Amino acid sequence: MRTLLIAGNWKLNPTSTEAAAALADGVKNGLGPATDVHVVLAPPFVFLNKVDQVLEGSPIGLAAQDLYWESNGAFTGEVSGPMLVDVGCTHVVIGHSERRHGMGETDAQVNAKLKAALAAKLIPIVCIGETKDERLGEKTEEVLLGQLTGSLAGLTAEEAAGVVLAYEPVWAIGTGLTATPEQAQAVHAYIRGWLAQVFGEATAARVVVQYGGSVKPDNAAELLACPDIDGALVGGAALKAGRDRPRQVLTRAPDLDREQRIPNVGVLTVIFNTLIVLLSLFLVCLVLIQRGKGGGLAGAFGGAGGSSAFGTKAGDTFTRITIVAASIWILMTMLLVILTSRQTPSLFDDAPTSLTRDLTKPAAAPEAPAPVVPAPVDAAAPVAGAPAPSAAPPAAPAPAGDAPAAPANNFPLTPGNEPPPSPK
């Protein structure tokens, strides 16, 4: 069973060592003795040492937000894996969308950093995800396939098992939008299916796949209840530490079984709507009977119609029943309004129906030629857009039998975009 991993990415926050220490201390105290999940904090580089001191004696891990693929040398402004380990880091975030799309970081660079992290014995959290335009253009599978193939190129099955993947749809980061649990689960199942096809079922079952994108206390429980979502990469919500908030944001409820399925808001809405319709029909019948327009309904009670058929006492009883039923109807309507207003906004709300299709099902064959699959990256080759490495280590060959042969193509992917055989 995979253990949930909740990582708080502080990004470029806060602005002082004192504030960083206070935030880390708030998370530490708010989290308490929880041991059912792994929790990691990722502050800016300059606060790593101080936060490590604050977290001493707690089970909370420490992550850097990036690293360089060289261990040392003339690389001004860069930070290496060995440096991060020395300052107390256990994890490192690699390929965050803000670096991919804001700073032009490529899959080749992510791959080089990933291998450097593994060499330094750091646990890498590799981020992948599509932009809003790519999602609306139905290119999610194509984008994820390219990022997975390029970022994890050259890894053995054992190395891949030690990598944490974080699916963070770019359109949901800091926007308040988020995929529904069903939509997020579909993408995570797609990712795990790719892992199974390339590295084998055993490896796919071990890889932790997080969800990131406007994760907060209001939606965390539903997302974490999905079978292929193994944690969360939390952004803005991780910067608010209070007495209860760290547990709300960074952990799930202790009694939440991984096999349990929390009822979706949409299901509850349907139930409430059904009950309201039935109650409305009941009210209509009561009113018709009392007004003498119930026809057969009144006759069924032995009267000619209306409350006169039942006598004054019976009429009063029907009036009381009507008042109670109407009160319940008003209450249920108010609850329905509150329930629907609390639904997390989603990009899919206004998107074409085709966007909500199950990503684990094969897409229709494209009319245009199939896109070219990114070739695996050689770790020894210089990374595009970066200074030439001084001594880039060659990619470690996979031991015989370490990476299981890819099974037959029984995991449906976009035609023409099948991943290459298991890396050797």
Residue 416 carries which side chain, given as an amino acid letter? G
Alpha carbon distance 176, 169 (integer Å):
12
Q: Is 56 a catalytic residue?
A: no
Cis peptide before 246 (omega within 30 of 0): no
Partnered with residue 211 across adjacent β-strands are: 167, 232
| C-beta neighbour count of 342 within 10 angstroms | 10
Q: Which of 168, 188, 222, 418 is catalytic?
A: 168
Residues ≥6 apart with Cβ < 8 Å to 214: 172, 173, 174, 175, 176, 177, 178, 235, 236, 344
Alpha carbon distance 143, 135 (integer Å):
9
C-beta of residue 104 within 8 angstroms of C-beta of residue 64: no
Q: Among residues 215, 184, 222, which one has the least CA distance to residue 9?
A: 215
The structure tokens listed for 179 are: 């995929």
The structure tokens listed for 381 are: 């080759």
Q: Is 141 a catalytic residue?
A: no
C-beta of residue 114 within 8 angstroms of C-beta of residue 379: no
The helices-and-strands tally (H runs, E runs) of the chain is: 15, 8
H helices present in 105-210, as ranges: 107-119, 132-136, 140-151, 157-161, 181-199, 201-206
Residues acting as catalytic residues: 96, 168
